[in-house]
Amino acid sequence: MTDFLGYQDRDSVIHRLNATSKLLVFLLLTVAGILSFDIRFLLLLTVFAGFVLYLSKISWRSIRILVYLTVVFALLNLVLIYVFAPQYGVELYHDKTILLGSGNYALTSQQLFYELLVLLKYCFSVPLSLAFLLTTQPSQLAAGLNRVGISYKIAYAFSLTLRYLPTIQNEFQTTKKVQEARGFALGKKASLGKKMMASTRLLLSLAFSTLEKVETISEAMALRRFGKKRKRTWYYSQKWRLPDWLALTMGILLLLLAVWLVSIDGGRFWNPFR
């Protein structure tokens, strides 16, 4: 079974990058994407993030569930934006072009344009996050976090969390099969009451199992006197190479482009309706 959000060992350009450089580029592009609401820049970021994910050679099977959930969440978010702020686009762009309906819930070009921008935020951030998380070994990531100034205790905790995600997935599947063998089915044929009962048992079993493993790991780290010193060395620490500097330069240039667009647009929003 393919691990969910677990590190995937591939021979790709992205995998060979230094964990610190990947972290810095990820942060730079995330800030750039948050800063700008220029559709031209967001389209560029979306294409760039998709290309990075393609270069990562990540299997579709391992990410499809997350992609489906993201699509559902994004669509739900767009619907809720329209329900609670149907004229927000009109307020932003100081123009109103009605496409359908009338009154407060009239569908306008400005609202559609704004919601397209929100959708593009998902379209660039999800592939970028997946490419970063699935191509970086947790230990390398911990070393990278520590190198950029984050406490090694926090970095190691983040590393353990990423390492434990595939374990939780496997534990979930095992517990589910055990519950089904005992007659607590979660299949389509089971009634709603049985599904709720089985789900409750499954979640409780998974929670207690997770807490037990967390306690075991904590005791093992305490016995090894983890955290007693202010600094530590890293076995997986990597040297910087030319591709790392090129990737970091690309991230800086894209962030500077976002800042420049904000300055010439007179704000974070580029207005095509002027």
200 sits in the region (left: phi over 0; alpha: psi -120 to 50; else beta) called: alpha
Where does the pLDDT of residue 160 fall: very low under 50, low under 70, confident under 90, or very high at 90 and above?
confident
Where does the pLDDT of residue 2 fall: very low under 50, low under 70, confident under 90, or very high at 90 and above?
very low
Convert 80-108 to b/e letters by CB count within 10 Å (16 or more is b): ebbeeebebbbebbeeebeeeeeeeebeb
CA distances (Å), origin 141, targets 138, 150, 260: 5, 11, 31
Q: What is the pLDDT of residues 38-91, one digit of tens each?
A: 899 999 999 999 999 999 988 888 788 888 888 899 999 999 998 888 888 888
- Mean pLDDT confidence for 222-243: 72
- Mean pLDDT confidence for 139-151: 75
Q: In the predicted model, is pLDDT for residue 155 greater than 70? A: yes
pLDDT at 248: 93
Q: In the predicted model, is pLDDT for residue 1 greater than 60? A: no
pTM: 0.76
pLDDT at 152: 75
* Residue 140 vs residue 188, higher pLDDT: 140
* Residue 69 vs residue 189, higher pLDDT: 69
DSSP-assigned beta bridge partners for residue 100: 107
Instruction: Determine the residue type at 247.
Output: A
> What does the alpha-carbon distance between residue 214 and residue 207 come to, in Å, rounded to a whole number?
11
